[in-house]
């Protein structure tokens, strides 16, 4: 963020402490320094604080430091006269000011001033710029970091996607148990049922006895044990048998399959959990044709 501010707002501006670049002046503004410190780049700046700092620094008059712009016309005039903004930035900011004025004049019921609309447009511009900056940082730093983490986890666990896929294909019982647990335990309806069951077990006093707590936990423990047994059956971890070719196979094919399987796991980890949750939701919601059938009570109400 600090680099973005210093790059975009690189023109000098006069402050009470002397002449610095506009980007540094924004970072040193009183509404920003509470987030970091004087002379330091903050890791996060709220859009409202940024706009306040920007407009205050751009409209600051060293000859009359107590003068404050109070309406959009005064801000436009000060922005036009400012030497701390490049011509391109001036045009962008003045365009937002004109858009705010046009929007304000076209609204019949005015609940906001044109200055508030101008500030909101600058806040939206700042937020969109920060999204691009965060996306660049993710590509530059987070993706390589995620890759190395995925590589270490995959190598230590020997998480071979091809071996796991072959195992699940050859063991339909484990496959069905794993799929059932994955879909059932991530279902919102199932979670609500479990919560309702626990609520029904609580007496009117709102206090559970030791026996009731033990009974409530026993079912959950059995579910966890079943899930653990299913996961333990999946081939994870290194063994000498990994490098012994099966009858009719060869070492080259075995090594190639292992490399491809590990690479597939690394790629799957790098995609992230949100991606796979979206994929599972789309797969589980697939239907042949038509819309979602109505529930029985909905059909009865429609009679």
**Residue 38 domain flag:** yes
| In a domain? residue 292 | no
Residue 174 lies in a domain: yes
Note whether 181 and 115 are same-domain residues: no
- Split into its structural domains, the chain has a count of 2
CA angle 150, 154, 159 (to 5 degrees): 135
Q: How many CB atoms lie within 10 A of CB 179?
A: 11
Residues 226 and 163 in one domain: yes
Mean pLDDT is lowest, of 8-17, 24-33, 66-75, 197-206, for 197-206
For the ranges 41-55, 58-72, 144-158, the maximum mean pLDDT occurs at 144-158
Residues 76 and 181 in one domain: no
| Residues 183 and 118 placed together within one structural domain of the fold | no
From 76, 100, 133, the end of a domain falls on: 133
Whether residue 173 lies inside any domain: the answer is yes
pLDDT value of position 287: 46
Asked if residue 294 has pLDDT above 70, the reply is no
- Domain-located, residue 147: no
- 192-223 per-position pLDDT tens digit: 565 566 556 555 555 556 666 666 666 666 66
Instruction: Please report whether residue 152 resides in a domain.
Output: no
35-60 mean pLDDT: 77
Residue 296 has pLDDT above 60, yes or no: no
- Say whether both 122 and 80 belong to one domain: yes
- My answer on whether 211 and 103 are in the same domain is no
Report the 3 state secondary structure along the chain: CHHHHHHHCCCEEEECCEEEEHHHHHHCCHHHHCCCCCCCCCCCCCHHHHHHHHHHHHCCCCCCCCCCCCCHHHHHHHHHHCCCCCHHHHHHHHHHHHHHHHHHHHCCCCCCCHHHHHHHHHHHHHHHHHHHHHHHHHHHHHHHHHHHHHHHHHHHHCCCHHHHHHHHHHCHHHHHHHHHHHHHHCCHHHHHHHHHHHHHHCCCCCCCCHHHHHHHHHHHHHHHHHHHHHHHHCCCCCCHHHHCCCCCCCHHHHHHHHHHHHHHHHHHHHHCHHHHHHHHHHHHCCCCCCCCCCCHHHHHHCC
pLDDT for residue 152: 92
User: pLDDT tens digits, residue range 118-136?
Assistant: 999 999 999 888 888 777 7
Do 183 and 94 sit in the same domain of this protein? Answer: no
The reply to whether 128 and 220 lie within a common domain is no
Considering the domain architecture, whether residues 46 and 121 belong to the same structural domain is answered as: yes
| pTM given for the model | 0.54
Instruction: Please write the tens of the pLDDT for every residue from 158-192.
Output: 888 888 888 778 877 777 766 666 555 545 455 55
Task: Give the residue from 133, 149, 182 where a domain finishes.
Answer: 133
- Asked if 53 contacts 31 with a C-beta cutoff of 8 angstroms, the reply is yes
Q: What is the mean pLDDT of residues 16-21?
A: 73
- The answer on 115 and 56 residing in a single domain is yes
- Write down the pLDDT at residue 99: 92
- The stretch 293-297 carries a mean pLDDT of 56
Domain that holds residue 268: 158-286
- Is residue 293 a part of any domain in this protein? no
Compute the average pLDDT of residues 251-266.
86
The pLDDT value given to residue 181: 62
Q: Which residue has the higher pLDDT, 42 or 299?
A: 42
Residue 288 reports pLDDT greater than 60: no
Residue 120: CB atoms within 10 A of its CB come to: 17
**How confident is the model over 3-21, as a mean pLDDT?**
76
User: What pLDDT digit, counting tens, does each position of 75-127 carry?
Assistant: 898 888 888 888 898 999 999 999 999 998 888 888 889 999 999 999 999 98
pLDDT at 289: 44
271-292: b or e for each residue (b if 16 or more CB lie within 10 Å)? Answer: eeeeeeeeeeeeeeeeeeeeee
Quote the pLDDT of residue 195: 56
Quick check: is 297 in a domain?
A: no
């Amino acid at each position: 963020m600090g680099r973005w501010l210093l790059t975009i707002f690189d023109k000098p501006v006069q402050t009470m402490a002397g002449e610095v670049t506009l980007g540094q002046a924004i970072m040193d503004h009183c509404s920003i320094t509470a987030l970091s410190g004087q002379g330091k780049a903050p890791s996060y700046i709220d859009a409202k604080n940024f706009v306040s700092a920007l407009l205050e620094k751009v409209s600051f008059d060293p000859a009359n430091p107590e003068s404050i712009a109070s309406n959009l016309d005064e801000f436009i005039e000060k922005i036009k006269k400012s030497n701390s903004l490049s011509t391109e930035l001036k045009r962008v900011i003045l365009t937002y000011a004109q858009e705010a004025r046009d929007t304000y004049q076209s609204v019949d019921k005015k609940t906001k001033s044109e200055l508030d609309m101008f500030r909101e447009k600058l806040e939206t511009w700042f937020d969109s710029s920060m999204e691009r900056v965060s996306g660049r940082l993710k590509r530059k730093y987070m993706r390589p970091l995620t890759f190395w983490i995925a590589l270490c986890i995959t190598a230590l666990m020997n998480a071979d996607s091809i071996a796991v896929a072959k195992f699940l294909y050859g063991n339909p019982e484990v496959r069905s148990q794993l799929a059932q647990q994955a879909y059932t335990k991530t279902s919102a309806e199932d979670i609500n049922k479990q919560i309702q069951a626990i609520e029904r077990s609580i007496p009117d006093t709102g206090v559970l006895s030791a026996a009731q707590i033990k009974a409530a936990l026993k079912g959950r423990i059995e579910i966890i044990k079943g899930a653990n047994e299913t996961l333990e059956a999946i081939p994870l971890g290194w063994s000498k048998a990994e490098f012994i070719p099966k009858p009719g196979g060869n070492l080259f094919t075995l090594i190639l399959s292992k490399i491809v399987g590990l690479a597939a796991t690394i790629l799957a980890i790098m995609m992230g959990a949100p991606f796979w949750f979206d994929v599972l939701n789309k797969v589980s919601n697939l239907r042949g044709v038509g819309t979602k059938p109505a529930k029985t009570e909905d059909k009865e109400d429609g009679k």
